[in-house]
Amino acid sequence: MGRKILFITTDQMRFDALGVNGQKIARTPTIDALARDGINYTRCHAQNVVCMPARATMITGQYVTTHGVWMNGVPLPVDAPSVARLLKEKKNYRTALIGKAHFEPFLDLQLQFEENRMGVQGTFGPHRGFDHMELAAHGARGPLHYARWLMQNHPEVADMFYPVLGPNLTQNSYGEGDTKAIQTKHNNCPRDLYHTDWVADRTIAYLNSLDPNEDWFVWMSFPDPHHPWDPPQSEIHRHNWRDLPVPAGYPGSREKIEKILSDKPRHWREWWVGERVTCYEAPPEFVPATLTTDQLREIDALTHVKNELIDEAIAKVMAAIKLRGWDGDTDVLFTTDHGEFQGDFGLLFKGPHHVTSLMHLPLIWRPAPNAKIAAGTLDAPVGQVDFAPTFCEIAGVALPDWMEGAALPKDTQAADARETVFTEWDSEHNGVSISLRTLFRDNWIVTAYGKSSIYEGTEGELYDLQNDPLQWRNLWDEPAAQPLKKELLAELRETEPKQKEPRRPVVASV
């Protein structure tokens, strides 16, 4: 009997959402305890800052340009490499994914994709190397298992959620919270029927179906704290938005936001004022400049509620693992797919913007206690491309040639060998294209813009995180920064994965 693996992901969670990473409002004692007993990686970056490309990187251990899911709506091929399949074939692991998968598009009226067919057909896999899948998204409508379960057992609840994936998909810029902030709603769904608790409960049910001597790899994937901001109304008393300060990254006045964004490449300000929609991940009618401080406070408060519910759900699962006698042999890796602006720069959601709001991820590895790996905090630059190799190391599986990352470092010496982490973005939406390539090194972030529908390919961003952690000052054109910029760009080009051609087609918007 070997080590078991619980892989926990959230969706669209900021690095600073956790107490262990500086959060002062939301309470996350369970996740903080995992960090205390394990390794907290304080400089993990996403390889892409939207769902499908990031999640494809997690399961394959490959960069975006290799696995080919270059933007949302591009399905990962069914026969793509999968670390779940590898662990199953090489070490006979039992494998499951409970919650949000999103390797295939959600908008699939013809049910082309197995993720969507399973819920309609009442099947649960196998798929992509997972013996068992029970899938959920951000609401109570659609073909996935959670939505079907609600409709069959609690149909009265379905209309209580914000309809982000419903018929108003392209018109969902309204809000029903106290401040009418975009995609907010007081959701009367009972807490025990909300998808956060459902994911935890279904994970426990799967674990309890296993033989005590079996090894397992279970990916528990929470859809929250991703928008819409509609946690159960019974829980929103936890944080009164009227009492909250605005987040530190919110510049304040319209004049200050205008000044900061005008110092960045033009699509930043154009989206903020509503001149050009370059953020295909936000409702097209949303104009960020209309966001009020009260609306931001309410969104912030609802996000804190969501994160606390996730922490409490993880506590239930950890208790179930302990009850089965597995805790000493179970590795737990906690992370997210990408971040959220949550008011930084006066913006919400995510999109073609390579700043720490979106790239910087929480990452905690609590090794199995019986493995006797020392706890600590490491600031090595690591990424999602390293997760699958880490699972291989835990399971004692040789690293396959198709993986491009490396197992996460476990001590300071191994961390010191890490110097850079790479992030990429490509999007084409309504005739607007953007291409970004980013390198993080030594507390510097450099982003080179590729030639696109609105850029010549000479533009970019350069930030000194030591002296400008909020990235309000773009040093790209500063004369004193030119030697360092040249050096970082040369390193970026040397390490950039080679683009595979042709690109796979986009088959859906999400």
Percent of the chain whose predicted confidence (pLDDT) is above 90: 92
What local confidence, expressed as pLDDT, does residue 510 receive? 84
Average pLDDT over residues 399-415: 97
Domains of the chain and any CATH numbers: 4-495 (3.40.720.10)
What local confidence, expressed as pLDDT, does residue 499 receive? 81
Q: If DSSP codes are grouped into helix, strand and coil, which group holds residue 505?
A: coil
pLDDT, tens digit, for every residue of 115-143?
999 999 999 999 999 999 999 999 898 99
- pLDDT above 60 (res 315): yes
DSSP bridge pairs for 151: none
Three-state helix/strand/coil letters over 349-396: CCCCCCCHHHHEEEEEEECCHHHCCCCEEECCCEEHHHHHHHHHHHHC
What local confidence, expressed as pLDDT, does residue 508 receive? 86
Higher pLDDT, 112 or 499: 112
| Strand blocks (E) in 141-255 | 216-225
Average pLDDT over residues 315-323: 98
Residue located via tokens 């208790």: 319
Average pLDDT over residues 339-347: 98
What local confidence, expressed as pLDDT, does residue 164 receive? 80
Percent of the chain whose predicted confidence (pLDDT) is above 70: 99
What local confidence, expressed as pLDDT, does residue 484 receive? 98
What local confidence, expressed as pLDDT, does residue 336 receive? 98
pLDDT, tens digit, for every residue of 140-186?
989 999 999 999 999 999 899 998 865 555 567 899 999 999 999 99
Q: Give the pLDDT band of residue 501 (cuts 50, 70, 90).
A: confident
What local confidence, expressed as pLDDT, does residue 97 receive? 99
- pLDDT above 70 (res 509): yes
pLDDT, tens digit, for every residue of 415-433?
999 999 999 999 998 899 9
- Amino acid making up residue 42: T
| Strand blocks (E) in 370-470 | 376-378, 382-383, 420-429, 432-441, 444-449, 460-464
Alpha carbons within 13 A on the beta-carbon side of 118: 24
What local confidence, expressed as pLDDT, does residue 280 receive? 83
pLDDT, tens digit, for every residue of 324-340?
999 999 999 999 999 99
